[in-house]
Amino acid sequence: MESAAKTAISLKKGMSSKDPVFELCDRVRELGFDAHRFLGPGHLEKVYENALVNRLRRAGIKVEQQHPMSVYDDDGTILGNYFADLFIEDCLIAELKATRSVAPEHVSQILGYLRASRIKDGLLINFGAPRFYIKKYVLEPLG
């Protein structure tokens, strides 16, 4: 676990603030925080989803709700589909929650979605707690 933390820190140091995905994530964070500040905790996940989508679209950001994503096996065979809560700018999966706290299974869920869909970047966002939560996950390609 300690080596993973060191890797994350070294990645942060080497990241360019000009990277479009990181800029996109910053914008999603800002707009999500605005939605959370306005609505507060206690609503259904769908309400937060609609609020964030509304704010993203007003900002000119392309977003698709409940977007079908293919699930691939390691050899490229399509195994099935799932629906990403939000698919932003054709490169970022956002998994939304409206729970008291983020649980390990929520982290496993976003990592599984990234791995299975072969999308590199994802956000786990929780609107349900008094404090807004957002965390970015990056999966490097396998193999």
With a CB cutoff of 8 Å and minimum separation 6, the contacts of 14 are none
Q: At what angle do helices 20-39 and 45-58 cross, to 10 degrees?
A: 130
What is the pLDDT, as a whole number, of residue 74? 87
What is the pLDDT, as a whole number, of residue 17? 54
Which residue numbers in the chain have pLDDT < 50?
Answer: 1-16
Tell how strand 92-97 and strand 121-126 pair up. parallel
What is the pLDDT, as a whole number, of residue 48? 98
Report, at the CATH architecture level, how domain 20-138 is classified. Answer: 3-Layer(aba) Sandwich (3.40)
What is the pLDDT, as a whole number, of residue 19? 83
Domain ranges of the chain: 20-138
With a CB cutoff of 8 Å and minimum separation 6, the contacts of 137 are 107, 110, 111, 114, 121, 122, 123, 124
What is the pLDDT, as a whole number, of residue 143? 53
Q: Which tens digits make up the pLDDT trace of 47-66?
A: 999 999 999 999 999 999 99
